[in-house]
Amino acid sequence: MPDILPASPTDFACRPNCGACCIAPSITSPIPGMPDGKPAGVPCIQLDPDMRCRLFGHPERPAFCGGLQPSHEMCGDTSTQAMKWLTRLEAITRPA
């Protein structure tokens, strides 16, 4: 995901080389290169080697992705914490 500069000192910015939000959650809407979306735990095909979204800022980016906003609660202090939090969220919100 691209580096996002916080708008103010209290805002939270994406962590460089993380990509947790592009790996952990399932995405049910089409993604360029993944017409059926992606399952949880599978890296999005649009995640580049630097763990940045190739679709960031483009209209083809799924609404789900744009709805994820970095926060300390979601991202924690490390990429590992972000993966754990998002994986748990995916599990507790999965339809029965």
Domain ranges within the chain, ordered by starting residue: 20-93
Map 35-79 to HEC letters: CCCECCCCCCCCECCCCCECCCCCCCCCHHHHHCCCCHHHHCCCH
Quick: pLDDT tens for 28-68.
999 999 999 999 999 999 999 999 999 999 999 999 999 98
pLDDT at 3 over 50: no
pTM of this structure: 0.83
Q: Among 1-15, 36-50, 76-90, which stretch is predicted with the lowest mean pLDDT?
A: 1-15
Could you tell me the pLDDT band of residue 2, with boundaries at 50, 70 and 90? very low
| Per-residue pLDDT, 10 | 52
**Phi-psi label, residue 95: left if phi above 0, alpha if psi -120 to 50, beta otherwise:** beta
